[in-house]
Structure 1
Amino acid sequence: MKKKVEGKQLLISEYLKIINGASFVEKWKVNDDVVFIEYFSSYRHYKDINKGSNITEEDFENYFNTGDKILKIVIGEPARIFREFSSVSAVIIKLQEISYYITRASLDSLTNLNISDLSTEDESWRNFANEHIYNKLNRQKLYSQINNFTSDLHLRISHNNLTLDQSLQVLNRKIEKGEARILNNGTIEFSTPGTFDEPDKKKSKYSLFFIQGVLRAAGEFLTKKVLDGSLLESIKDLFE
């Protein structure tokens, strides 16, 4: 997976070496159009792997506790990856034992922008970064929105004791009947059959498509698994 920059090809493997907090990334993998990034969960774990590092525990703790760093990484790094690499459709970030799942479609929808069109050659990328990455209130709002769908879906799956595959099939049927839709903020809304129209169906199926795409990349073992954790943790298993 490459990005053309100033006459040369930039590999995503090279790009991931310069992301925010790159020194604290334990591992990363690319599976088709999905990028997984996992940061070290603790300073002890970091030192076990990087015995010669001069970084102190205070340095490690301060990095993630200062300036709302976690939210900046969760919002900013997927946006940068989507802008640089048009073939990437989803980014999964595991940071401090929490996994975050961000799709290109959801980020485009929530910001009303096409991330791929943003450029450093004009003010479009700077404007995006100032509004959504560096503005604390907007960053918090966007951070909350991109996690709503996952949390909502997981609660429904847990309540009904269904496998992930079964739950997605049920949701798809409800969307087709016009009795369910996925809102722009990621939540799932249910009503009586025929309530939601064709535009609602089309948009909801589009959102569902990206989730299913990640699951297809993971294989049958994941889609048929009964969830014992969050949807994000299960999707993360495809990289293990």
Structure 2
Amino acid sequence: MSLTLLLNYFNSFSEFQTTNPDSPISKETYEDYVNTGNNVDKLIVQEGARILRTFTHVENVSFNIEWNGIHHSTEVNRADHNEFLGFRIEHTSNEDNS
């Protein structure tokens, strides 16, 4: 059985705040993160890799991101990701810098 994790990102800080009223994340912190570099690529690459490394039972990560009025939707597949990297992401760790 193949497990797919679907990630839907908030369109704005106010949408995030409405859904997470007790979050300690400030508007400045939120906007600093999403406005640095190519935010859509950053979310897909970093979060896709982090999820596939951490949750070994997840085979696919699907993203829905609405940013600056443009809808982005893509899927990261474990097998394709590992083939592209040339190694298995689940065998890496932040703790030993592998």
TM over 0.5: yes
Report the counterpart of residue 111 of structure 1 in structure 2: 85
Structure 1 gap ranges (5+): 1-31, 125-240
Deviation at 1:51, TM superposition (A): 5.0
Mapped partners of 1:37, 1:95: distance in 2: 8
State the AA in 1 paired with 2:90. Answer: S
**SS of alignment partner, residue 63 of structure 2:** strand
Question: Of the two, which has the highest radius of gyration?
Answer: 1
Structure 2 gap ranges (5+): none
Mapped partners of 2:80, 2:15: distance in 1: 33
Q: Relative contact order (C-alpha < 8 Å, sep 6+): which is higher?
A: 2
Within the candidate set 26, 36, 39, 1:55 is matched to: 26
Deviation at 1:43, TM superposition (A): 3.1
Mapped partners of 2:96, 2:47: distance in 1: 20
Deviation sequence 1:65-91 (CA, Å, 0-9, x none)? 114343222112121221222211000
**SS of alignment partner, residue 89 of structure 1:** strand
The alignment yields a C-alpha RMSD, in angstroms, of 2.6
State the AA in 1 paired with 2:19. Answer: I
Relative to the length of structure 1, the TM-score reads: 0.33
Within the candidate set 25, 31, 34, 1:64 is matched to: 34
**SS of alignment partner, residue 113 of structure 1:** coil
Deviation sequence 1:1-20 (CA, Å, 0-9, x none)? xxxxxxxxxxxxxxxxxxxx
State the AA in 1 paired with 2:53. Answer: R
Deviation sequence 1:116-153 (CA, Å, 0-9, x none)? 222345442xxxxxxxxxxxxxxxxxxxxxxxxxxxxx
The percentage of aligned residue pairs carrying the same residue is: 30
Mapped partners of 2:54, 2:22: distance in 1: 33
**Count of paired positions:** 92
Bigger proportion of residues as helix:
1
Deviation at 1:63, TM superposition (A): 2.4
Mapped partners of 2:95, 2:31: distance in 1: 35
Relative to the length of structure 2, the TM-score reads: 0.71
Bigger proportion of residues as strand:
2
Q: 1:50 to 1:83 in 2, by over 3 A?
A: closer
